[in-house]
Amino acid sequence: MASKLFSPKTFSILFILLPLVIATLQLSFADSSDPTVAVSPETICKSTQDPSYCKSVLPNRNASVFDYGRSVILKSLLQARKFSNTVDTYLQSRSTLSVTTVRALEDCQLLAGLNVDCLQASYETVNKTTVSLPSSEVDDVQTMLSAVLTNQQTCLDGVETTASDSSIKNGLSGKLLNDTKLHGVSLALFSKGWVPIKKISSQPKRKHPKFRNGRLPLKMSSQKRAIYESARRRKLLQTSDEVAVTVYDIVVVSKDGSGNFTDITSAVTAAPSNLNASDGYFLIYVTADVYEEYVSIPKGKSYLLMIGDGINQTIITGNRSVDDGYTTFNSATFAVVAPGFVAVNITFRNTAGAIKHQAVALRSGADLSTFYSCSFEGYQDTLYTHSFRQFYRECDIYGTVDFIFGNAAVVLQNCNIYPRLPLSGQFNTITAQGRTDPNQNTGTSIHNAIIKAADDLAANGGTTQTYLGRPWKQYSTTVFMQSFMDSLINPAGWHEWSGTFALSTLYYAEYNNSGPGSDTTNRVTWDGYHVIDATDAATFTVSTFLQADDWLPQTGVPYTDGLI
């Protein structure tokens, strides 16, 4: 029998078939092993949410995940430019459009421009390397690609809910949905090819700029030096001798005319463009007063440091709302998209009231933005942590429905959270996190907070139900850790958005909280809800979730890097 089975003819056939067998095995196992191995589009697309669509946008040849990733990110960039041009074309006819449509288009114009920037920077980063990237660059690109999807969703939400011109609504909605699928493939393939590299401890970290022990790099007048020294004596700038905050220049905003400007917007306009971290901050000192203005810090005004005279002393206030025809996005009293922004000792307020529904006090879509000893006051949608990486320390946040919301990677640490009295028949939800894609590195982490009823809610006798959050989007991600929860928190803890939407795909977690509202015995039983241990909780700490050790020290703001 043996001689017949292994005849010379049989060996010849096996020799011919062997390369085909090996190739088949390579294709079968490459997807879970070596990312440098060339595989088919069908194989690589298995890791995406829509494999059929993914295959349609990839080159029809075998390639590595790195090659596929570079190819599709370039396609995303080209498509983002086309969409930006489309929005610009619509806005050229703004005189024939409704006010609400123009506002929605202006949001999309801003967001489309940011997407082009993010995709251009992402493509340049992945195109300069044949395989791997340093961990800091991996984090940067994943953050930018995550923000692209958030910007798409924000534009779509605004168009569908605010724009009243049906032809534009219908024309843009389809483009937005198709482009979002393309950008989702870019993020998925980047995550598959590059993101695991950040787990390698040997990767170099981002280098810190060399600060000059707090000294001003430019010659300053005695008045500006006095202001600077005053700022150093405030809560900020409590840094070590090795790393201290450097200030590039200083201007003063004072309504009485004693400073350089009487309004904040003029000071922002006067700031230099495109500062780097090593240049130091452009410090805008805003004296105690009530500033009734809408402030927007555009992308070019990077590394601004805005310091007020304290909570309820320096107040920036407005009253725009969705009920008055604004999108949620452009209802913000104060908005910032410029990277490296720091605010200290300021109250941001929206006075539209509960009756006006969505009305944002502050919106941040600024990467590496930091808020220290600030207050955010509103009702529904008070604090819009829109996108990128953000940190809040020792802040007060007041609101009713979804009043901490957005899709940033954000940690709120040592903050006071005050649910207020909502409209009759409403319940309070502290968070509404908006993650739309499993590959985004976004989520809301609330660490060592104090959650108590605001005075108006406390006086109401506790009849209003208050929940930790509800899932705004499919992959909503929120964690409460080591926080005090007073008795106002409903025993279920969390509330659904609509029926069973997102209950199995969300990630909601609690770790080692205290207070009468922290008992998890009667919490929801959703698949996506977890009571986690210290190992899992460490994933959502400042150093891990935000890579904060790379950038927070330069702000001078204190922080706890891990669990307490």
- SS3 state of residue 452: coil
Residue 402 designated active-site? yes
Name the phi and psi angles at 167, rounded to 5.
-65, -40
Do the beta carbons of residue 444 and residue 478 sit within 8 Å? Answer: yes
| Sheet of 401-406, strands arranged across | 295-297, 334-336, 362-364, 383-385, 401-406, 428-433, 466-469
Helix (H) or strand (E) holding 284: strand 281-286
Where does 309-422 show beta strands of DSSP type E? 314-318, 334-336, 342-344, 347-350, 362-364, 369-372, 375-377, 383-385, 389-393, 396-399, 401-406, 409-413, 416-419
> What tokens does 384 get?
């819009």
Do the beta carbons of residue 208 and residue 554 sit within 8 Å? Answer: yes
Report CA torsion sign: 59, 138, 279, 251. Answer: positive
Residues across the chain: 564
Cα(520)–Cα(289) distance, rounded to whole angstroms? 44
Do the beta carbons of residue 114 and residue 155 sit within 8 Å? Answer: no
Cα(19)–Cα(283) distance, rounded to whole angstroms? 66
Shortest CA distance to 125 belongs to which of 70, 44, 187, 204? 70
**Residue 18 CA neighbour count, 13 Å, CB half:** 7
Active-site residue, from 179, 396, 402, 550:
402
- β-bridge mates for residue 509, sequence order: 479, 530
Name the phi and psi angles at 340, rounded to 5.
75, 15
Do the beta carbons of residue 410 and residue 389 sit within 8 Å? Answer: yes
Give 298's contacts (C-beta < 8 A, 6+ positions apart). Answer: 337, 338
Q: Which amino acid is at 558?
A: P
Known catalytic residues are 402
